[in-house]
Chain A
Amino acid sequence: MVTLVEEPVDVAAVFRGGRLRPTAFLWRGRRYRVRRVLGTYRDLKGRYLELYYSVMSDTPEVYELRFSTDGMRWSLVRVHSEG
């Protein structure tokens, strides 16, 4: 099941080897550690760059995070879950 969320989240991220990687995020008061980054892609919205990350935490759900250079903001876009 895919749940569209589109909510701002706080994200801890690391810059390494010229790449940006999220390491944890805070959503609705709960902290999620990023165990794996499954896939990434980038998209241009006008002159702004958006970086997307499909990540797993400690449960089977997959969270899709987005970093936008428009305001330098992180968002949780959607959640893929069983059911």
Chain B
Amino acid sequence: MTQYVTHGLLRAADRGRDAGEEGRCVLHLDMDAYFASVEQRDVPLYRGRPLVVCHTSSDFCTHGVVATASYEARCWGVKAGMSVWEARSRCPHACFVHADIPKYLDNARRIRRLCERLSHRVEVFSIDEVFVDLTPLLRPCPPGEERWREALRVGRELKGEIRRRLGLTASVGIGPNKLVAKMASEFQKPDGLTLVTPEQLPDILAPLPVDRLVGVGERMRRHLRAMGVETVGDLARTPVELLEWKFGVMGRLLWEAAHGRDGSPVRAGGEEQEVKSFGHSLSLRGGTRDLEYLENTLLGLCDAVTRRMRREGYLGRTVALRLRVGYALGYARARSLDEYTDLTSPVYAAARDLLRREASSGLWTEPVTTVGVSVSQLRRREEGRQVTIWDIMDNREERLTAALDALRDRYGEGVVTRASLLGDFALSGMNLAR
């Protein structure tokens, strides 16, 4: 049964505090335990049982990372981001399955289409989260109680459609902006429907722990705690000048968020969104200290990263190597290239150098269990890159890369691969360059 909480629905006056947000109404849709819910829908054997969906290259999910845990598995302390090894120790009787990303993507497309029936301003925030700007839809309703009531009706109807057509449940939050809507959807899960009006913001936000704010992670929480800021109310009472001095632009954004203010628009599909980096990582069964194996794996990851960059039309300049040693020590090292690129060779050369340096650093007291690479400091390809004399003299890699991309576009990602990658990596079952 749908549970919902209305805050201030019956109050007479209800106007946004800030002129820029007046009358805005944003809906945040968050699918409940999405990957696990899809699997439980498709396989009745998994319903009502602990189910763990894993990102893994092993055939039997013996290692890797938990992508999602069903609510039944969460009761045992299993959660996303946890190692499969730890999840198995917490819940050995759970069912462990591979994440099937194409399946979740296709279902996400259907969910997005249902949202687009409500408004043309639909922003896909992640594979299981969508923002919908309901403001145009609700404009005929007078601001205030009636508009919020209609927004609730729309949210309820959307949840119903998703349940009927896809057999899945979602939690919906509604508020005057994206920040509040997203926080609202977290108040009641699963299958929740929560409205937070502008009048309710101070009462609702103030007692929340500061890390409930979007954008406040563990590191930021520690910094704020050192300043005596424990709750969102503490943050709101902190002078904005102090926050700006301490955290720069982020400080003002935090202060605005503590007051429930967020002027960011719901970006409709096709609008430019800022991409900050492209990356891939892989968990390694049992871990390894074999440098040749790690370099091979790194080569495949660099191939996948640059393939996605070329498909999206980006060049990048900073290469970061990410490693996990054992199960506790995770860290990264980065290097900037001389030129922007979208080719594998320069990215791999930089990443491999970083890897070799780390291999001789003495930090690897245990085997390496995860290796990853990312490219940041991006620019759009149409902005161009500086062509050097070497590009003109020898553009074989560019021509070969273009030919390989054309083959993969036509026949699929697995149609051609490097000979050095035939083996564990190619058999991992992970189609990285989706």
Contacts and interface: CB of A to CB of B under 8 A. Distances in A.
Nearest to B168: A39
Interface in B1-41: 38, 41
Nearest to A81: B45
A82 interface: yes
Contacts of A52: 102-103
Interface of B is mostly: helix
A18 interface: no
A38 B42 contact: yes
Contacts of A39: 38, 41-42, 103, 167
A60 B44 contact: yes
B410 interface: yes
5 contacts: A38-B41, A39-B38, A43-B103, A46-B415, A61-B45
B42 A62 contact: yes
B353 interface: no
Contacts of A47: 409-411
B389 interface: no
B412 interface: yes
A64 B39 CA distance: 12
B310 to A, nearest CB: 16
A13 interface: no
Contacts of B412: 45-46, 48
Interface string B39-57: 0011111100000000000
Interface of B: 38, 41-46, 59, 97-98, 102-103, 105-107, 167, 408-413, 415
Contacts of B106: 41-43
Interface string A36-61: 00110111011110001010100011
A46 B59 CA distance: 25
Contacts of B103: 39, 41, 43, 52
Given A41-B103, A41-B107, A46 B42 contact: no
Contacts of B415: 46
A12 interface: no
Interface of A is mostly: strand
A80 interface: yes
Contacts of B408: 46
A62 B40 CA distance: 11
Contacts of B107: 41
Given A39-B38, A52-B103, A2 B45 contact: no
Most buried by A among B43, B103, B408, B409: B43
Nearest to B415: A46
A41 B45 contact: no
B429 to A, nearest CB: 9
A4 B43 CA distance: 15
Nearest to A47: B410
Contacts of A46: 408-413, 415
A45 B43 contact: no
A56 B411 contact: no
A62 B410 contact: no
A38 B167 CA distance: 9
Pairs A-B, 4 closest by C-beta atoms: A45-B412, A41-B106, A39-B42, A43-B102
Nearest to A60: B45
Contacts of A80: 43, 45-46
A82 B102 contact: no
Contacts of B105: 43
Contacts of A54: 42-43
Contacts of A42: 106
Contacts of B38: 39
A81 B105 CA distance: 25
Contacts of A2: 97-98
A34 B105 CA distance: 25
A38 B37 CA distance: 13
A38 B38 CA distance: 10
B59 A38 contact: no
A48 B103 CA distance: 16
